[in-house]
């Protein structure tokens, strides 16, 4: 059973507007969450992370929000730029167990329209 | 070369062939990983090596055989594969196998089994 879910396979947003990508998880032992971005013919590249002791982490145009009670996290990109068009993967790990195994969602393809 | 490199980038093989995928990381990391990404499925962790020792084998069939001769190199030896093994195989590395580390990915090898 999939422990990390990204229910929207695709999202289109106008340039300059906000992009919101969502991710849900089922395992309450997850305490570290990451977002990766993937361009075609390249491997995923790390974007931003958040640990379960926080509910928000911001890095420039990218902000990740974590709602532990809802087992939900979201990535906000504002303002969106055409270069942000890519597939975004949400990942989670049970850091407290000492393992670094990442569980990934299926990804959301973001298209930013100029 | 910088980051994580993988060769070959594309591979077509028959079910009776033996081939190997190679991964090299130039980041000074101590942990390396093999992932499989099939169409419309999340990335699935296959193997984890930490300090050249295998620490995880996620019920992967024996037709996949990993090898980690040193902390910079990781191989995936393939023999008698099935058509359903066709997928993108991604290698990743992290500073250690401990928790709360982001993983850095290579570009992947697109494998087709005929």
Among the partner-chain residues A42, A43, A49, the one whose CB lies closest to the CB of B102 is A49
d(Cα B56, Cα A61) in Å, to the nearest integer? Answer: 36
d(Cα B78, Cα B94) in Å, to the nearest integer? Answer: 24
- Reported as a single tens digit per residue, the pLDDT across B21-32 is 999 999 999 899
State the best of A1, A88, A100, A101 to mutate against chain B, taking most chain B CBs within 10 Å: A100
Mean pLDDT of the A84-88 span:
97
Strands B109-113 and B10-13: parallel
Is B10 an 8 Å CB contact of chain A?
no
The reported pLDDT for the residue numbered A96 is 64
Among the partner-chain residues A34, A42, A105, the one whose CB lies closest to the CB of B102 is A34
* Residue A2 predicted with pLDDT over 80: yes
Which stretches in chain B have pLDDT values below 50? none
Beta strands in chain A (DSSP E): 4-5, 10-14, 19-25, 32-38, 45-51, 56-59, 62-67, 72-77, 86-93, 103-104, 108-113
pLDDT band at A95 (very low <50, low <70, confident <90, very high): confident
The reported pLDDT for the residue numbered B11 is 96
The reported pLDDT for the residue numbered A53 is 93
Residues of A in contact with B6 (CB under 8 A): 43
């Amino acid at each position: 059973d999939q422990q990390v879910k990204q229910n929207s396979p695709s999202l289109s947003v106008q340039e300059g507007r906000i992009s919101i990508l969502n991710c849900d998880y089922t395992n309450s032992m997850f305490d570290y969450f990451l977002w990766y971005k993937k361009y075609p013919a390249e491997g995923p590249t790390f974007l931003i992370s958040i640990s379960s002791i926080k509910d928000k982490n911001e890095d420039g145009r990218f902000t990740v929000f974590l709602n532990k009670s809802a087992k939900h996290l979201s990535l906000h990109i504002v303002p969106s730029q055409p270069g942000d068009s890519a597939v975004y993967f949400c990942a989670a790990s049970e850091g407290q167990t000492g393992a670094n195994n990442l569980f990934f969602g299926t990804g959301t393809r973001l298209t930013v329209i100029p | 070369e910088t980051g994580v490199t993988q060769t070959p980038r594309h591979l077509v093989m028959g079910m009776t062939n033996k081939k190997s995928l190679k991964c090299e990381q130039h980041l000074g990391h101590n942990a390396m990983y093999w992932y499989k990404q099939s169409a419309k499925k999340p990335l699935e962790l296959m193997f984890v090596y930490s300090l050249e020792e295998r620490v995880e084998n996620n019920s992967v069939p024996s037709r996949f055989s990993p090898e980690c001769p040193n902390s910079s190199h990781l191989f995936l030896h393939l023999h008698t594969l099935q058509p359903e093994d066709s997928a993108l195989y991604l290698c990743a590395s992290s500073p250690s196998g401990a928790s709360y580390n982001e993983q850095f990915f290579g570009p992947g090898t697109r494998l087709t089994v005929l």
